Amino acid sequence: MPITKTDYIWMDGELVKWDDANVHVLTHTLHYGCGVFEGVRAYATAKGAGVFRLSDHIDRLFSSAKIFLIEIPFSRAQLVEAVKQTVLANRMTECYIRPIVYLGYGEMGLLTLNCDVKVAIAVWPWGAYLGDEGIEKGVRMKISSWQRHDPNAMPPAAKGIGMYINSSMAKAEALKAGYDEAVLLSPQGYVSECTGENIFVLRKDRLVTPPVSAGALEGITQDSVITIARDLGIEVEHANILRSDLYTADEAFLTGTAAEVVPIRSVDDRLVGEGTPGPVTRKIQETYKEAIRGGVERYARWVEHAG
């Protein structure tokens, strides 16, 4: 997906022009992949741009960094303000927001402890990650031949830069085979998550989503959807599921900041339900769509206004 250029990128405490936001080719993270990032979205609300669950995303950035022994040289409050400042400076109302923490130029070799820690925040307009048709009609999924990380090889609780090679390989494999997105299994054979989204299945009126122990990131959209579903009176639990649970699900959908709530039309060519988005998926999708734009009073706390 081509990127849409905006005016400024926040780098280490200052707004710099988009074209000047560059790093050296010997930047440590470019070589060894150690760093952490977030994907956040802002939406147009009645009170201007609202960043959805911004503080939760910044908290996750800090816990990802802690896992990799990276000390972020800013406080949480400073980065929350920096995101808001970047959204406002670029006059964005609806945009994708990418905070990234990386190790800079100066050190080489695998020891990261002496590296300079750098932080950048970019924002740009970005539409539905899996397409408007995906949101409307659902996506076709393929179980990947690539497994999700073993938790003792790569920590699934962290949103670590280098970890995403696994997702990129699974994504390319699924698209080359004619599908829209991949589902990855854990080394133990349980359903873990998708390349950049969590997964939910509805079976016998109960929603189930895999736990972190199955290799899934603790998604902020996943958490919002669990809250929304429970408030709608739907039973939800974190539990291990098998690929056959996807084949026989009444409904299934995926969740992520970039993708939002996307129905699953089929898995490995088996239709989910009738192959059209089911009523529970639709209701959750509609409520989420209103909540992110500040339209649901009980979820107003999730929207953090930029101005």
Among the listed residues 271, 258, 252, 100, the one whose alpha carbon sits nearest the alpha carbon of residue 167:
258
Q: What is the torsional sign of CA 297, 302, 303, 306? A: positive
Q: Among residues 220 and 252, whose Cβ is nearest to ligand PMP?
A: 220
**Minimum CB distance to ligand PMP smaller for 209 or for 266:** 209
Residue 250 CB, nearest approach to ligand PMP (Å): 23
Q: How far is the CB of 196 from ligand PMP (least distance, A)?
A: 4
Q: Computed from CA positions of residues 88, 92, 93, 99, in that sequence, does the dihedral angle turn out positive or negative?
A: negative
**DSSP label at 214?**
G
Least Å from the CB of residue 255 to ligand PMP: 6
Helices 54-67/220-231 angle, 10° precision: 130
Asked if 213 contacts 146 with a C-beta cutoff of 8 angstroms, the reply is no
Helix (H), strand (E) at residue 267: strand 260-267
Which residue lies nearer to ligand PMP by CB, 115 or 148? 148
In this structure, which long-range contacts are made by residues 60-66, counting pairs with CB atoms below 8 Å and at least 24 apart in sequence? 60/159, 60/218, 60/220, 61/36, 61/37, 61/99, 61/101, 61/159, 63/157, 63/158, 64/36, 64/37, 64/157, 64/158, 64/159, 64/160, 65/36, 65/101
Closest distance between ligand PMP and the C-beta of residue 195, in Å? 7
Return the number of the residue (108 or 165) whose C-beta is nearest ligand PMP.
165
Contact 86, 121 (CB under 8 A): yes
Task: Between 181 and 197, name the residue whose CB sits nearer to ligand PMP.
Answer: 197
Query: Looking only at Cα atoms, what is the longest distance across the chain?
Result: 57
Q: Given the residues 159, 204, 283, 289, select the one marked as catalytic.
A: 159
Enumerate helices (H) and strands (E) in the chain, giving the number of each.
8, 17
Q: How far is the CB of 301 from ligand PMP (least distance, A)?
A: 17
Please state whether 33 falls in left (phi above 0), alpha (psi between -120 and 50) or beta. Answer: left
Location of structure tokens 């130029």: 105
Nearer to ligand PMP by Cβ, of 118 and 159: the residue is: 159
- In the complex, the smallest distance separating the C-beta of residue 67 from ligand PMP, rounded to whole angstroms, is 14
126: burial class by Cβ within 10 Å (0-12, 13-18, 19+)? Answer: middle
Whether residue 159 lies in the annotated active site:
yes
Binding site for ligand PMP (CB under 6 A): 39, 159, 167, 193, 196-198, 217, 219-222, 255-257
Distance CA 293, CA 281 (A): 19
Catalytic residues: 159
